[in-house]
């Protein structure tokens, strides 16, 4: 039964959208998986998609899938670049990973217009300006 399954709560893991650089043509952003734990995580699967309304019409981006064999303690990995045009959509990242033989999963959701200059912080470990969900 579902009640018999362990409740594996995701802690000390974050998804961050970081500003990489700015030039006359615009800003370049990347999405990061940040491991704030003191132990590595393994067999990492991430799906990403965007959805919402733009100009009065429903819009959905492609669903992308990413796999990383291992992410060491207190480190990060780039998941994907992200276009500023999708910041008006809901951007969803569904993460699954193992610590030892235990599986964990969590959905991280960046709401429309949440990735804005006003919300920028210095991302831990990555040390770049960005928006983070933990």
Query: So where are the chain's domains?
Result: 2-113
Choose which CATH entry (3.30.450.80, 2.60.40.10, 3.90.320.10, 3.40.50.300) describes domain 2-113. Answer: 2.60.40.10
How far apart CA 5 and CA 95 sit, in angstroms, is 19
| Cβ 51 vs Cβ 94: under 8 Å | no
What's the pLDDT tens digit per position in 80-117? 999 999 999 999 999 999 999 999 999 999 999 999 99
Please tell me what DSSP assigns to residue 87.
G
Evaluate whether 59 touches 86 at the Cβ level (below 8 Å).
no
Round to whole Å and give the CA distance between 125 and 42.
18
10-residue mean pLDDT series, the chain (134 residues):
72 97 89 97 98 92 97 98 94 96 95 94 97 97
Question: How many residues can be counted in the chain?
Answer: 134
* 0.85 exceeded by pTM: yes
- Give φ, ψ of 130 to 5 degrees: -175, -175
């Amino acid at each position: 039964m579902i009640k018999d399954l362990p409740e594996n709560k995701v802690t000390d893991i974050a998804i961050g959208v970081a500003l990489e650089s700015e030039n006359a043509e615009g800003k370049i952003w990347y999405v990061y998986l940040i491991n704030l734990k003191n132990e590595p995580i393994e067999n990492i699967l991430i799906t990403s998609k965007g959805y919402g309304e733009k100009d009065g019409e429903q819009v959905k981006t492609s669903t992308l899938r990413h796999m990383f064999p291992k992410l060491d303690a207190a480190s990060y990995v780039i998941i994907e670049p992200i276009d500023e045009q999708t910041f008006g959509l809901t951007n969803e990242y569904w993460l699954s990973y193992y610590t030892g033989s235990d599986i964990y999963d969590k959905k991280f959701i960046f709401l429309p217009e949440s990735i804005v200059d006003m919300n920028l912080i210095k991302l831990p470990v990555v040390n770049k300006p960005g928006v983070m969900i933990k």
